[in-house]
Amino acid sequence: MERGSMSRIWTKGALAAVLAAASLPGAARAQDDGYTFADAEASVPDDPVAALDSDTAALPTRFVARPLTLPRFWIRGDGMALIYRVPDIPFDDDGNIGSVFQLGGAFGITDDLEVGISNERLGATRAWPISRFGPNLGEGVFPLIFTPDFDYGDLPVYGRFRFFSSESFEVAADAVLVIPTNTDFQMRFGLPVRLRAGGLFALDTGVQFELLFAELTPDDDFYTRMEIPLRATINPVDALAIGLHTGFRVVDFDGDLVFLPLGFEAAFSMPFSDTVLVDFVGALEFPYLFALGDENDKFRSERWLMTFGARFHLGL
């Protein structure tokens, strides 16, 4: 064999030996830790984008996996267009067609404390306020009422504190102060409850109270309402949530105005990163579908509310 060939063979052999020796400490550590190259390969997700959408993320794409409060240092901005037909005061057979565009927002101070100016609190029924000026659905940071008359709505400033949380059960407390830039002073209190079944189903319930300080009639200057919402949501896939809303609504606690609402909602969620998530929302609600009482036993399907819009979530 030629001298040059022998030299090349020895050179290659020496290089192979050096590389093998260098790999021995890492291999030994991997064996000591029980970690193999197969484990390393398995730890790489097939779809890195989908990995950001898991239920273990700070704010999951899957709606039923989300907490009652925004995670710490997360921001939510919501823009909703509302078209509705509601009765005047008192609940007669005539109604008004109204349209509103309202912007709201919220901020997670801690994982358990959320504050904001909005009607889009998770699990809570969207406000259906009634004042001495008639029905009013314009509420938010920037609420514009277009019809029946152009106006600026009210500011619902709220705080929510989650005081119990587990994998399948959460409870929080709401306090809302409505600054009457358009109608009347209002206060709302709630105890929202979220129940989960796996990653497929969630039920939002609890109790909500509303106090309105206004002269609705010459003999009545104080208005109350209580509601027990039942909002069932399923997530057949991560990005799609479908909800059915009903419950029990009592007006003024005198037994004359008791209603069973019904609503449908769908949301399509798009994660753009692990800190940016957008929900596109559409809903149809009948807040007074069935009225109970001595003279009010009838369907009220002519009272309805359609909502279209989006919720933007950003983690800081």
- Cα within 13 Å of Cα(91), Cβ side: 20
Q: Residue 74 pLDDT more than 80?
A: yes
Q: Which fold has domain 55-315?
A: Porin (2.40.160)
**Over residues 120-124, mean pLDDT:** 91
Q: How confident is the model at residue 53 (pLDDT cuts 50, 70, 90)?
A: very low
**End-to-end alpha-carbon separation of the chain, Å?**
69
Q: Can you say how many angstroms the Cα of residue 45 is from the centroid of all Cα atoms in its chain?
A: 28
Q: pLDDT tens digits, residue range 99-120?
A: 889 999 999 999 999 999 998 9
Cα–Cα distances in Å, from 260 out to 84, 95, 126, 135, 249?
18, 19, 15, 19, 6
- Type and span of the H or E element at 37: helix 37-42
CB-based contacts of 286, cutoff 8 Å, min separation 6 = 261, 262, 263, 300, 301, 303, 304, 305
DSSP assigned state of 286: E
pLDDT confidence of residue 5 = 43
Encode pLDDT of 209-256 as tens digits: 988 887 666 566 777 888 999 999 999 999 999 999 999 888 776 656
Candidates 207, 125, 147; CA nearest to 172 is 207
| CA of residue 178 relative to chain centroid, distance | 20
Per-chain mean pLDDT for the chain:
78
Q: Is residue 156 scored above 90 in pLDDT?
A: yes
Instruction: Report the pLDDT averaged over residues 16-27.
Output: 42
pTM: 0.76
DSSP 154: B
pLDDT in tens, 173-216: 999 999 988 888 889 999 999 999 988 999 999 999 988 887 66
- Greater model confidence, 221 or 2: 221
Cβ atoms of 162 and 60 within 8 Å: the answer is: no
Cβ burial of 269 (10 Å; 0-12, 13-18, 19+) is: buried
% of the chain residues with pLDDT over 70:
70
pLDDT for residue 10: 42
Query: Does the pLDDT at position 310 exceed 90?
Result: yes
Exposure letters 143-171 (e unless 16+ CB within 10 A, then b): bbbeeeeebebbbbebebbbeeeeeeebb
Higher pLDDT, 165 or 57: 165
Q: How confident is the model at residue 87 (pLDDT cuts 50, 70, 90)?
A: low
